Amino acid sequence: MRGVQATQKSRNPGISRATCALDPRVTAKEMGVLQVLSNTWALLLGMALLMLGNGLQGSLLGVRGEAAGFTTFELSVVMSAYFVGFLGGSRLTPELIRRVGHVRVFAALASFVSAVLILYPAFQNPYVWIIGRVIIGFCFSGVYVTAESWLNNSVNNDQRGQALSLYMMVQMIGIVAAQGVLNLPDASGYLLFIVASVLVSVSFAPILLSISPTPAFESTKPMTLQQLLKVSPLGFVGMFLLGGVFAAQFGMAAVFGAEAGLSLAQISIFIATFYIGATVVQYPLGWLSDRMDRRVLILVASAAGGVAALAAFLVGQSYAILLIAAFVIGGMSNPLYSLLLAYTNDFLDFEDMAAASGGMVFVNGVGAISGPLVTGWLMSVMGPYGFFIIIAVLMFALSGYAGYRMTQRAAPSVEDTGSYTPVMPTSSLVAVEAAQEYAAEMAEDAEISDSQ
């Protein structure tokens, strides 16, 4: 079980609790949020624009690829290629940052993203799109690593939880808003790709013009996969399965909508509903996770997502049922990412939490690569509603494995568990490490408080 061995590192002087006492109408939490917004508004604005561009290009390729006559399997490979690049970028970008610095890496990668987005409609060939998606995935991963290290450096330890929450909300808002942009008239076939490119190009202006100083980049040597599996079999297996679920949502939802005959407006609302569900359910699920056996919550949440996916497969011809299913699937699967991280932390010493995050992100990435491929194969065999079958199978598998693990060892007491910190599956290793560090600090503070 965890020991009190972590050392708190204060990066920047923040507003103290005494400052809040000067005005009794302002709580410490409110002061913290205002301070975080003051320090990070340009970064958050830039990331919102980036997520608009990323969310738009993912949905746009699914719709346009189907219209261009790509097969379902070809589209699944296109969608999977993003996660291949993303996983590679998460591994290689830290070394790039150490060699040439944050600013150059950020600007170069964002420029590549903007260029590839313009090239998509000019070369409507699945092989070209696959290469483009690998590049896009690599670059977005690198951009996230760079931006999240800036975010982590711009707040002190007490504010990190609020900063991560704001960052997650910005990501959600960006992806949801992108589905609205998908409905812009595009008679030439180029406009929406140009819009996505412009959004990405504009996004790094507020970041590069306002971020100072450039942070020193630090990364933790990752825990081996064998060690991670031994520490938390449920966290390891759950992250792999959840990677497939999230990749199916992020990559294949637009393909499903196009093949199922939904209108463009219906497709955009359908995709947005996944992320609206994730936003609404994230905090109630997090509140529960700090007050009960997390395995029970993992079992129930994944089973609920599986039931919703199965219902969509059986009676999904009703658009209302599709939206309800999307809300429940998104509301269960996205918070499960943070829940599995928190559960794994319960069996780690404080100093090992950041190291474990590297293995967790890698396992999730491998699952994400395979998710669209299996989904595309099922859709080609069973029709578009095979999209929901793979989600149902993965969610039920996670639920069943959580139930099995409950028979293998006792759960830690609620008092000994760490804090739940919301993180999006689209986040890079930097944000996950920051969440792990924040959870360790909260657990340490709780133990110190209990001992006094």
pLDDT confidence bin for 20, thresholds 50/70/90: very low
pLDDT of residue 448: 63
Lowest mean pLDDT among 19-23, 145-149, 212-216: 19-23
Q: What CATH number is given to the structural domain containing 194?
A: 1.20.1250.20
197 falls within a domain:
yes
Nearest to 278 by CA among 361, 362, 196, 175: 175
Q: Are 277 and 330 in contact (CB under 8 A)?
A: yes
pLDDT confidence bin for 446, thresholds 50/70/90: low
Backbone angles phi and psi of 178, in degrees to 5: -60, -30
Placement of tokens 């949801």 in the chain = 176
26 falls within a domain:
no
CA pseudo-torsion sign 357, 360, 366, 371 = negative
pTM, two decimals, is 0.83
Cis bond upstream, residue 126 (ω within 30): no
SS (HEC) of 225-257: HHHHHHHCHHHHHHHHHHHHHHHHHHHHHHHHH
92 or 233: which carries more pLDDT confidence? Answer: 233
Rounded to whole angstroms, the Cα distance separating 52 from 203 reads 9
Mean pLDDT of 68-72: 90
pLDDT confidence bin for 5, thresholds 50/70/90: very low
For residues 303-334, one letter each, b for 16 or more C-beta atoms within 10 angstroms of the residue's C-beta and e for the rest, the string is bbbbbbbbbbbeebeeeeebbbbbbbbbbbbb
Q: Report how far apart the first and last C-alpha atoms of the chain are (Å, whole number).
A: 21
Q: Where are the beta strands (DSSP E) in 20-118?
A: none
CA pseudo-torsion sign 389, 393, 398, 400 = positive
Tally of structural domains, the chain: 1
Placement of tokens 């589905």 in the chain = 179
266 falls within a domain:
yes
157 falls within a domain:
yes
3 falls within a domain:
no
Lowest mean pLDDT among 63-72, 172-181, 364-373, 410-419: 410-419
22 falls within a domain:
no
Rounded to whole angstroms, the Cα distance separating 107 from 385 reads 40
5 falls within a domain:
no
25 falls within a domain:
no
- Domain of residue 427 covers 31-451
pLDDT of residue 415: 66
- Per-residue pLDDT tens over the stretch 346-388: 887 766 776 777 788 888 889 999 999 999 999 999 999 999 9
**What percentage of the chain reaches a pLDDT higher than 90?**
35
